[in-house]
Amino acid sequence: MLAKICFTTMKCIFRMFRSKSSSLSSGVSQSISLKPLNIKYQRGSSLAIAVFMVIVMSLLITAITNTISSSSDQVVQEVLGTRALLAAESANEMTLAQIFPLDDEVNKCSDAEVDTGLRYLDGFAGFPNCVVFTICNNHPDDEPKYYLIESTGICKDNLAGSSVSPATSDQSCNDTDNLCVSRTVEIEAREIQ
């Protein structure tokens, strides 16, 4: 009878249905052999599963790597941003200390005692590869005198110049910089009479 169950492979089941249809058409019943098919027909399923697992695992590893990489880039941006902000605030405070010395008279922004322009902070701990660009404007016609100090802190992965030989490309972030962060802080001060 053709109702015997075959558990080996799909080919055996296919043969069973093919033989059933041929026996119905010819009217002669055929018996189905339950011996397993040749081993060469059963190869490859483990290989397909292994290839599928390798592809899935590589996609998973790639996604995790991208997530970790973008996370570390964000941390680097935050650290450089904080350094640039603190560099700008420090430059403003240094300029204020030069304009309003404790034991001397008030200076103007144009005086030699007031250091403005591009300053490299390579000698200061905590500011590697950072520069600060300070602009100072005073309004001498106003009484009391008002001062406007604006400092931009810039931290890069590599600086083009140094305090010995400054480079104008260090005054801003350029398209050629791989990693560059700038922060600008502006303060106003007035002379007390």
Evaluate whether 156 touches 180 at the Cβ level (below 8 Å). Answer: yes
**Per-residue pLDDT reduced to its tens digit, 87-100:** 999 999 999 998 88
Q: What is the pLDDT of residue 93?
A: 93
Q: Identify the segments of the chain with pLDDT beneath 70.
A: 1-44, 140, 142, 177
pLDDT attached to residue 129:
85
Q: pLDDT digit string (tens) for 98-126?
A: 888 888 788 888 887 788 888 888 778 88
State the pLDDT at residue 170.
81
Return d(Cα 132, Cα 154) in angstroms, integer.
6
Question: Which pTM does this prediction carry?
Answer: 0.63
The pLDDT assigned to 30 comes to 54
DSSP E strand stretches across 122-192: 130-139, 146-156, 180-190
Provide the β-strand partners of residue 133. 118, 152
Residue 24 tokens read as 């119905």
List the alpha helices (DSSP H) in 27-130: 45-99
- Rounded to 5°, the CA angle 21-24-30 comes to 80
Nearest Cα to Cα of residue 131 among 120, 142, 147: 120
Element containing residue 131 per DSSP (H, E): strand 130-139
List phi, psi (to 5°) of 160. -80, -30
